[in-house]
Amino acid sequence: MNGASREALAAGRESLDALTDNTSADATKLADELAAVTTLLDREVSLRRVLTDPAQSGEAKAELAQRLLSGQVGGETVDLVSGMVRSRWSRSRDLVDATEELANTADLTAAQKAGALDGVEDELFRFGRIVSSSPELRSALTDKAATATAKGELLRSLLGGKANVTTERLVVRLVTQPRGRSLEAGLESLSKLAAARRDRMVAVVTSAVPLSDRQKQRLGAVLAKLYGREMHLNLDVDPAVLGGITVQVGDEVINGSIAERLDEATRRLAG
């Protein structure tokens, strides 16, 4: 997002945080209702254009949102969406993307309150790896001829009782409502959103053999100092790395042996 949409999304995030900081707020209910609003806005192109029309006053757009949503979703969701449409948006599509992000964030907030956010992050990463290594599963989950109900049932059979309920909710929603994204892109976006919930960056670490606890601690500490933020390590093992390690942080990929890379990072910090 750019310009006005970025500012509008930031305001929406602040409003959601203010709501979910209240211990009485039901973050999971907010997630369900925001997801329903996302579906509505994604389907009704003319509606979202009206709600983002810069020629209309913010108050008029908020009143329209209130009339449409009152009685369909809770008051907290109505207030949140009304506040969002008061903002200016660069593109009408950005409002849909922002509402979806807030729905996912609400689910992640529920996991965070339950002390399960770390586990959800790891499960999203692992599920992405499973999909990448199983063309048959990916095909089944992205088959346009298959119904959303069938895909949801398949995912629940795979994840039910084996993954955190938030992981299941996020993945089911992504697969059944892809909104034109690839499955891989959607999972990556969810993983980054989960990391951002803790104000952390994600480092995807691929090594030929599992790292020891000491190596993980050293690598995490060095990367955190290099990037200036706490780093969450998503660990993967691939014998093809030939005894070395690959670290990807965003678009940057670092290759080299564990010892060489850590030594180089230490030298950079010392310099």
What is d(CA 112, CA 89) in angstroms, rounded to the nearest whole number?
30
Which of 36, 182, 167 shows the shortest CA–CA distance to 103? 36
Please tell me the predicted confidence (pLDDT) of residue 186.
95
Cα 214-220-224 angle, rounded to 5 deg = 150
Q: Max CA-CA distance within the chain?
A: 62
* pLDDT tens sequence across 48-91: 999 999 999 999 999 999 999 999 999 999 999 999 999 999 99
Task: Take residue 159 and report the two structure tokens written for it.
Answer: 């994840």
Residue carrying the six token digits 């909710």: 169
Please give the distance of CA 182 from its chain centroid, rounded to a whole number.
Answer: 14
Percent over 70 (pLDDT), the chain? 91
What is d(CA 175, CA 156) in angstroms, rounded to the nearest whole number?
12
Q: In which band, very low, low, confident or very high, does the pLDDT at 231 lie, cut at 50, 70 and 90? A: confident
User: What is the SS3 assignment for 70?
Assistant: strand
What is d(CA 88, CA 11) in angstroms, rounded to the nearest whole number?
11
- The model's pTM: 0.77
Which of 158, 175, 171, 167 shows the shortest CA–CA distance to 117? 167
Task: Take residue 96 and report the two structure tokens written for it.
Answer: 């849909």
Q: Is 220:186 a contact under the CB 8 Å cutoff?
A: no
